[in-house]
Structure 1
Amino acid sequence: MAKPNLAADDVRAAFDAAEVKFLGKGTFGETWRVDSVDVGGQPTVCAVKFLDPKNFNARLVQREIDGLTVVHGRRFARLHEVREVAVAGTAHTTLVCEYLPGGDVASNVTESGLPSQKEVLAFGVELLHGVKQLHDVERVHRDLKPANIILRDGRWDTPVLIDMGLSKGASDLTMTAYPQRVGSLIYMAPEQLRGERARKSSDLWACGVVLFMLLTGQHPFVTSYAGKSEDDIAEEITGPPAPLPAHVDPGLRKVILRLLSEDAFERGSAKRALKDLRKAMK
């Protein structure tokens, strides 16, 4: 895990908290667990994202806030409030969010190994339901990856989407100067790697990569990263993916391979993928 820029004692003092714990770094800041935060008059354990003042951009902050508030329910972390605090004498904007025990997908795989196929199916249904909720309100996440999916209470059937800093409305005027890669390289769709705008179909590609990796422990296209540049890796993410193991359920296999179609149009929609995965669970 990357090391924090902030000191634990300074984070503790900013919220007058007894206990704090560094959780990780995201695109625009770092997140800490902070105990006993006053939320509506109640002491609450929260995940507090400290936005980096050096990279502060009001529009990007508003984008993350919009992403956290436009959708609701168990598949998304709840934003309690936006709070300004002083950390070691420097003003920080913080996003005070629901704390989700259980860890992200990446850490769960590292600690406990790959989930069973049954767990992958249950995870896939809930993941695609969350993506569908985003797409239904015309938003695109743009950075779906294991580190941005929390397992609520460590359960594979309760994934929660986090880190909405790159998410944007599907029809919004872009703040990104294209061509430019926006997101995490090995989860980017071919069109993103070409520097094109990420669309709903790009989120579906990322879902396909995550599901493939949970079943196999391997990326569907990249077998090794050693000594390779970003451009080298991007060139490998093309053509048909590696074969899935023979024991993978045919319905699950069909959905994953469709999500990994090089042609964005062939990936379909989150609604269709969700419907097909639900059939595979029966």
Structure 2
Amino acid sequence: MSSALPVLPSRELVLDRYRPLRPLGSGASGSVWLARDEHTGLDVALKIVPREGKAAHRAEREAEAAARLRHERCLRSYGFGADSGHVYIAYEYVGGRTLREAIRAGELNDARAVEAAAQILEGLAHAHGRGIVHRDVKPSNVLLLDEEQVSIRVLDFGLARFDEAETLTAVGDVPGTLAYISPERLRGEEACPASDVWAVGILLWEALAGKHPFWGTPLQQMAAAIETGAPPLLPERPDLPKRLLVAIERALAPDPARRPSAAALAHELREAAAGRRRKQSRSRPKIRVEARESPFAAGLLARALPAGAAGLATLVGSSILPFFPAGWSLALG
């Protein structure tokens, strides 16, 4: 994310409704401001994109997708508009940080990682049911609102594909982030719901293993490695339940027709997690009453960021895992 401060909108009120209060973050495509909705009195996250080039077109696409989505796992949009200089999208303002940041800090235990993935899939299933494919699912586009109980929002539908619409990209372009793009898309096929499922499979593999499945692969060889298929998670995490490993393997099937739907995979992940909890409950000594504190909870307060700032800044930028080889920032996005 760029460190440069975004330019304050020239008018006191944006679209005669939103009063910018302070910047939350900025990136290559624009900026996000905390703003007050003078009609309702609510604080909103106002995304501001210059009205020129592909960024403006993608902002309009993002706004169209957001207007169709009404699900607790998708960041809610309150409105969209434009003037002669900028495009604006008003989102709900919520606190939290990105899944990328939680993974980077090593604070997402297995149970929370699986539940986060299931919730992402619920939001995507809602989008897929409305003819929308995200095309850029990755940890930096997922916001963790409540980390203890796990509550997420899926962000940034700026690269979304609509069933009835042509894509914004030219033939040969593959919009998205390389490390999470599915094999069929690299072969030139159009994104489909199964492409989003692949991305969630990669994301969950990464969260459970602590590294990306293609970690260490030279950037020039990344596309070929993805087309070959993701490596199995078993060698990295032989302690995980077989049912969970199978669910992740199904999500990462090279053939998109063999992947489960987003809703079906969410169900499989929760069933696998529930089975593990039942097994642990049966094997736990009855005299033991305390639970081992997870590193996720232990570091939570120490690493907390100002409410809303970390996650909502992701609307225009993303953070990068520090342990990836040189060049991987291009692949991770």
Normalised to the residue count of structure 1, the TM-score between the two structures is: 0.84
**Kindly tell me: are residues 118 and 262 of structure 1, through their superposed partners in 2, closer, same or farther at Cα, counting changes over 3 Å?**
same
Q: 1:176 aligns with which of 156, 162, 169?
A: 169
Q: Quote the residue 2:293 is aligned against.
A: none
Q: Quote the residue 2:266 is aligned against.
A: 274
Task: Report deviation, 1:208.
Answer: 0.3
How big is each residue's C-alpha offset from its partner over 1:176-214, in whole Å with a ceiling of 9 and x where there is no partner?
Answer: 322221101110001112232111111010000100111
Q: 1:159 aligns with which of 148, 152, 170?
A: 152
Q: Quote the residue 2:51 is aligned against.
A: 53
How big is each residue's C-alpha offset from its partner over 1:213-258, in whole Å with a ceiling of 9 and x where there is no partner?
Answer: 1111211134245xx33xx211121234143301222222111111
Taking the TM superposition and a 5 Å limit, the aligned residue runs for 1:103-114 are: 103-110=97-104, 112-114=105-107
- Number of matched residues? 268
* Alpha-carbon contact 1:148-1:163 (below 8 Å) kept: yes
Q: Quote the residue 1:23 is aligned against.
A: 25
* Alpha-carbon contact 1:48-1:97 (below 8 Å) kept: yes
How big is each residue's C-alpha offset from its partner over 1:61-87, in whole Å with a ceiling of 9 and x where there is no partner?
Answer: 4422221021212111111122436xx
**Kindly tell me: are residues 11 and 141 of structure 1, through their superposed partners in 2, closer, same or farther at Cα, counting changes over 3 Å?**
farther
Task: Report deviation, 1:270.
Answer: 1.3
Q: Quote the residue 1:121 is aligned against.
A: 114
Q: 2:244 aligns with which of 252, 255, 261?
A: 252
Q: Quote the residue 2:37 is aligned against.
A: 37
Q: 3-state SS of the aligned residue for 1:100?
A: coil
Normalised to the residue count of structure 2, the TM-score between the two structures is: 0.72
2: distance between equivalents of 1:158 and 1:12? 36
2: distance between equivalents of 1:212 and 1:257? 9
> Is there any run of 5+ residues in structure 1 with no aligned partner, and where?
none
Task: Report deviation, 1:154.
Answer: 4.1
Task: Report deviation, 1:138.
Answer: 2.0
Tell me which structure has the larger Cα radius of gyration.
2
* Alpha-carbon contact 1:123-1:156 (below 8 Å) kept: no
Greater relative contact order structure (CA < 8 Å, 6+ sep)? 2
Q: 3-state SS of the aligned residue for 2:87?
A: strand
**Kindly tell me: are residues 194 and 14 of structure 1, through their superposed partners in 2, closer, same or farther at Cα, counting changes over 3 Å?**
farther
* Alpha-carbon contact 1:84-1:94 (below 8 Å) kept: yes
* Alpha-carbon contact 1:50-1:93 (below 8 Å) kept: yes
Q: 3-state SS of the aligned residue for 1:49?
A: strand
* Alpha-carbon contact 2:205-2:233 (below 8 Å) kept: no
**Kindly tell me: are residues 273 and 199 of structure 1, through their superposed partners in 2, closer, same or farther at Cα, counting changes over 3 Å?**
same
**2:95 corresponds to which letter in structure 1?**
P
> Is there any run of 5+ residues in structure 2 with no aligned partner, and where?
275-333
**Kindly tell me: are residues 194 and 96 of structure 1, through their superposed partners in 2, closer, same or farther at Cα, counting changes over 3 Å?**
same
The root-mean-square deviation of aligned C-alpha atoms, in Å, is 2.6
* Alpha-carbon contact 2:6-2:23 (below 8 Å) kept: no
**1:30 corresponds to which letter in structure 2?**
G
Q: Quote the residue 1:68 is aligned against.
A: 66
**Kindly tell me: are residues 56 and 192 of structure 1, through their superposed partners in 2, closer, same or farther at Cα, counting changes over 3 Å?**
closer
Q: 2:207 aligns with which of 210, 214, 218?
A: 214
**Kindly tell me: are residues 133 and 184 of structure 1, through their superposed partners in 2, closer, same or farther at Cα, counting changes over 3 Å?**
same
**2:77 corresponds to which letter in structure 1?**
L
2: distance between equivalents of 1:156 and 1:123? 10
* Alpha-carbon contact 2:141-2:155 (below 8 Å) kept: yes
**Kindly tell me: are residues 146 and 156 of structure 1, through their superposed partners in 2, closer, same or farther at Cα, counting changes over 3 Å?**
farther
**Kindly tell me: are residues 272 and 205 of structure 1, through their superposed partners in 2, closer, same or farther at Cα, counting changes over 3 Å?**
same
* Alpha-carbon contact 1:4-1:22 (below 8 Å) kept: no
Taking the TM superposition and a 5 Å limit, the aligned residue runs for 1:73-152 are: 73-84=71-82, 91-110=85-104, 112-152=105-145
Deviates most, 15-24 or 66-75: 15-24
* Alpha-carbon contact 1:185-1:193 (below 8 Å) kept: no
* Alpha-carbon contact 1:34-1:48 (below 8 Å) kept: yes
Task: Report deviation, 1:272.
Answer: 1.9
Q: Quote the residue 1:235 is aligned against.
A: 224
**Kindly tell me: are residues 240 and 166 of structure 1, through their superposed partners in 2, closer, same or farther at Cα, counting changes over 3 Å?**
closer
Q: Quote the residue 2:184 is aligned against.
A: 191
Task: Report deviation, 1:21.
Answer: 2.7
Q: After TM superposition, which residue ranges in structure 1, 4 or more long, deviate above 6 angstroms?
A: none
1: distance between equivalents of 2:81 and 2:54? 15
**1:128 corresponds to which letter in structure 2?**
L
